[in-house]
Chain A
Amino acid sequence: MGSMPARWSSAVVVVVATLAACSPQVDIAVVRGDDLTELPIDFVRFVFRAEGEEPIEKGPFAVEGIPGSDFAAVAPESVFSVDVIACKELDAGTCETEDTFIARGCAGGFSRSRDDALAITIELHPASVGNAQCPVEDPDADTVE
């Protein structure tokens, strides 16, 4: 195999370095729970909740069109949770209230420093189950109230 021209190898190094630098710090895998094997899911939206901060809404997205990566303004060292809400349709008002959710799952109590990587797996359950579990309670909520 011929050697790569210097300018292209330089470009490759730059691209690789850029990709490495910009690779997601938090990887979120969304999976189906055992109670949700058959239900078709077309849309999902994400809610990041950090202590003392307004919830950060992302989506809804079509399942096959979820952005590969995005930014969540959750400051380092903050304790945060991720709420994933699934819907069948996106008509007016749907996917906004719990009665329009068809599935939901969440995980919380995460905290990370500035340069930490984190992997999160969120299991979706039927809305009746998920709505009861989510959002994850703020551990300090009671104290705050």
Chain B
Amino acid sequence: MMMVASLAVCVVAVTGSDPAVFAGVAVRGAVSDDDVVQVTEQLRSMFQARGARVVAPIENKGTRERERRVLKDLDDRLDDAARAAAATDWNGARELLQDALALFEEHLAFTDDDAAWARYRELLVLQSTALLHVNDKVGADQELLQLLAVEPDWRPKKGVTPAAVAARFDAVRDEARATPPASLEVKSRPAGAKVLVDGRRAGRAPVAIELPPGVHYVIVEDHGRVHHQRVVVGDGGARVSARLGSPELEASVRLLAQLRQPATKKAELLDLASDVADVALVAVVLPWGRSVQVVCARVTDGELDAVVAAPLPRNPGAREKVVFQLVEAALTQKADGWIAAADAAQALRPLLLSGMGDTSINDAPEPAPTGLIIGGVVGGLVVVAAVGLGAALVFLNESNKDKGFTYGIDASALE
């Protein structure tokens, strides 16, 4: 598992009666990519579920994890479409492919992941095949033209590409070659953002790219501030103007950058958090044995009014529950405190500002959930009480044996 030596901080802001604002996640110390991705995703989704507004910079690692999940879904839909095609259910196949395309455009089109783009090409070939079988030659050609728009060097593969598509391909390629390329101009504010078109690097904005007309997927990215856009490039070309970031996002980026440092002064934290919103919540993710700790602080009107933290269990279900409790506490708790742990609350603020976690724990014990602790205490008391009562009864019974006997009556026959 690849380890990263970086700092992760999450920032959430709650402005008075306005919705809470979730501003970001980072990690400090040697925390695994998987932990970063999982914790980031859970914090984002749970703060959002609790009404928080998310302005957090995009975490590439989190995006990758989401893309992996969506890719599996896309594979399933393509498999279903292929089965429908094999059963000559061409209309059914087309519907499934439309669903697959929607999924791709929503979640995968703005990535440089080769696997995702390979699925897109497969999708277009299957769509073209289905259209040819329902005698929609124009539609089939459009799919192949789109394929050549995003992948001009694509060629049919013998034994892989359906024969009907392979037969149409030469004519479509000739049409594509006969069409002059169009210009796609991409600008960004601030300038200098990285530009990706159809999953490939295309320089830094401002930039003009020559490409075949068709649908193209453009990403403009600068330090976690991302703009993505589906662009229909016609013969006359197209323009993309990306305004990256917002005052809240910019403030969050600065806050996160500060908290990535080995140590942060409390005054700096408060100033930067106040720039994010009237009420901001900041969380630092730290290594903890083979797992992580998350420390979240809430800054209200320039005051650090609560710091809550939790060591996260490795078990996914237990981890999700603890993160949920942490989010709830970060939004509502009035005083410092640990969630699912019994450490001293006084240690929380130093941990937030300069803690580097503890990687020396070889096998960190799973933190006992609060309910289990309470249950254990209550259970212990029950056992002690039961033992005490039992001993008293036994002693009393033994003592009474010298004076008489206990008796039981069964008079059920009289009822």
Chain A interface (Cβ < 8 Å from any Cβ of B): 5, 7-8, 10-11, 14-15, 17-18, 21-32, 41, 44, 46, 63-64, 66-76, 86, 112, 114-115, 118, 124
Contact = CB atoms under 8 A, between A and B. Distances in A.
B407 A72 contact: yes
A44 B386 contact: no
Interface in B360-415: 376, 379-380, 382-383, 386-387, 389-390, 393-394, 397-398, 400-411, 413-415
B406 A26 contact: yes
Nearest to A32: B413
B186 to A, nearest CB: 60
A20 to B, nearest CB: 9
A44 B406 CA distance: 18
A72 B408 contact: no
For chain B, what secondary structure do more than half of its interface residues adopt (helix, strand, loop), or is it mixed? helix
A30 B409 contact: yes
Contact of B383 (A11, A22, A112, A118): A11
B200 to A, nearest CB: 54
A31 B397 contact: no
A72 B390 contact: no
Contact of B402 (A5, A114, A124): A114
17 contacts: A7-B376, A7-B383, A10-B383, A15-B390, A18-B394, A22-B393, A24-B406, A26-B408, A27-B407, A27-B408, A28-B407, A28-B408, A30-B414, A64-B415, A73-B404, A76-B405, A124-B414
Contacts of B383: 7-8, 10-11, 14
Given A63-B415, A76-B401, A21 B408 contact: no
B406 A22 contact: yes
Nearest to A78: B404
Q: Which of B389, B397, B411 gathers the greatest number of chain A CB atoms within 10 Å?
A: B411
A73 B399 CA distance: 12
Contact of B401 (A10, A67, A69, A114): A114
